[in-house]
Amino acid sequence: MDVPTFDELRDLLQRDPEGFERLRATLIDDCIRRSSKCNQRRLRGLQFVIDARRRIAGSPMKALLDIQTMMRDSLLALQQALLAQHRTCEPPAPTNARILQFRRSQSSVDEL
């Protein structure tokens, strides 16, 4: 299904809010159905949470902010998981080291 333009969606929302919601649900369902089978269940669960947040938000702006916060929290959790995984893959830093003193040769001092 082709996605309507922004202006077409705005006009539909103003003319027919229920039709807009039906189209929104159809487009989302179509997107989920086209995803890989192993992701569909997770995507349906995520869409359920998003729809619930929209219902209880009270206003479209509050819904937007709630969903944006949910996305940010998810991104931060992913970042922390990736950083934790990266730290476990690094070899341990040496606990002691011997520092060697290097002296400049007379010829390199003369060149400066």
Indicate whether 21 belongs to any domain: yes
Query: Does the pTM of the predicted model rise above 0.85?
Result: no
pLDDT in tens, 6-17: 999 999 999 999
Domain of residue 76, residue span: 6-90
Q: What are the distances in angstroms from CA 31 to CA 20, 49, 93, 95, 110?
A: 16, 17, 46, 52, 72
pLDDT in tens, 82-91: 988 877 666 6
What are the phi and psi torsion angles at 91 (to 5°)? -70, 150
Indicate whether 22 belongs to any domain: yes
Structural domain count, the chain: 1
